[in-house]
Amino acid sequence: MSTSSSASGEAGGTWAILVAAGSGSRLGSDRPKAFAGLAGRPLLAESLERLDTSEWVDAIVVAAPPGWEEPAILLAEELVASKVAAVVTGGATRAESVRIALAEVPEDALVVLVHDAARPLVDDAVIERLLARLAEGVDGVVPGIAIGDTVKRVERGIVAETIDREALVAVQTPQVFVAERLRAGYSGEVAGATDCASLVERTGGRVAVVAGDPRLVKVTTASDLELVARLVEDEGP
């Protein structure tokens, strides 16, 4: 299903894809993770509202879990999220959900931002950093966080190698791309890709890294949800 509502995206602008179609098996809620409660609202509300009010985002496509398209549309209406151009049914993997949502992005879109609903606390500062770097002439930009722990590659329980962590970053979303480069990344096999940038890299794209945001915590388990709920409550209304 592809449920389109009033599209308000400007031609040629920046389109956001908000992937929210996962089941949240590790969270263990009685509903998909995007509809688990966060500070009294569905988790999806936080990122959707923030992208909708972002000065950098022109239009939004949401990938909803199968059977949860109507609740996603109703949530967008309740939030008066007027930039939501379409709600699509997600696929079996994150990459499939992105691919389905990308098909709703018009050909004349210049930039596509892809964000996980599982990272509720997206803000304009990180989006601005990403877009500024993209404008300098790369194919994609991701937010990265330096790794504090020592990292080792392990084979059958034995350390094979200690990796120089200076060269490593943990990568978050949102990730931004020149639209045609993201489409090229998604034109082939996407199985196994855990982020969009890896597909753009694989198809020859240059992807830059800017400073990520420690508040872009990914909600995976119940304790992550508690942590993010505290961060939201500290912010106040």
Q: What Rg value do the Cα atoms of the chain yield, rounded? A: 17
Output the CA angle 154-202-102, nearest 5 degrees: 115
CB atoms within 10 A of CB 118: 25
Q: What is d(CA 57, CA 84) in angstroms, rounded to the nearest whole number? A: 10
Binding pattern for the stretch 173-192 against ligand CTP, x by CB under 6 A and - elsewhere: --------------------
Q: What is d(CA 91, CA 81) in angstroms, rounded to the nearest whole number? A: 23
Pull the structure tokens for residue 91: 């696929």
Residues between 4 and 23 that touch Mg ion (CB under 5 A): 22
Which of 58, 116 has the CB closer to ligand CTP? 116
Q: What's the min distance (Å) between Cβ of 119 and Mg ion?
A: 13
Q: What's the min distance (Å) between Cβ of 184 and ligand CTP?
A: 21
Read off φ and ψ for residue 173, nearest 5 degrees: -120, 160
Q: What's the min distance (Å) between Cβ of 86 and ligand CTP?
A: 14
Which of 20, 126 has the CB closer to ligand CTP? 20
Strand, coil or helix: what is 102? Answer: helix
Query: What single DSSP character describes residue 166?
Result: G
CB atoms within 10 A of CB 193: 20
Q: What's the min distance (Å) between Cβ of 51 and ligand CTP?
A: 13
Which of 81, 228 has the CB closer to Mg ion? 228
Q: Which of 14, 15, 17, 34 binds ligand CTP (CB under 6 A)?
A: 34
Q: Which of 9, 16, 22, 193 binds ligand CTP (CB under 6 A)?
A: 22
Which of 43, 127 has the CB closer to Mg ion? 43
Residues between 80 and 119 that touch ligand CTP (CB under 6 A): 90-94, 97, 116-118
Read off φ and ψ for residue 145, nearest 5 degrees: -120, 130
Residues in contact with ligand CTP by CB under 6 A are 19-26, 33-34, 63, 90-94, 97, 116-118, 218, 220
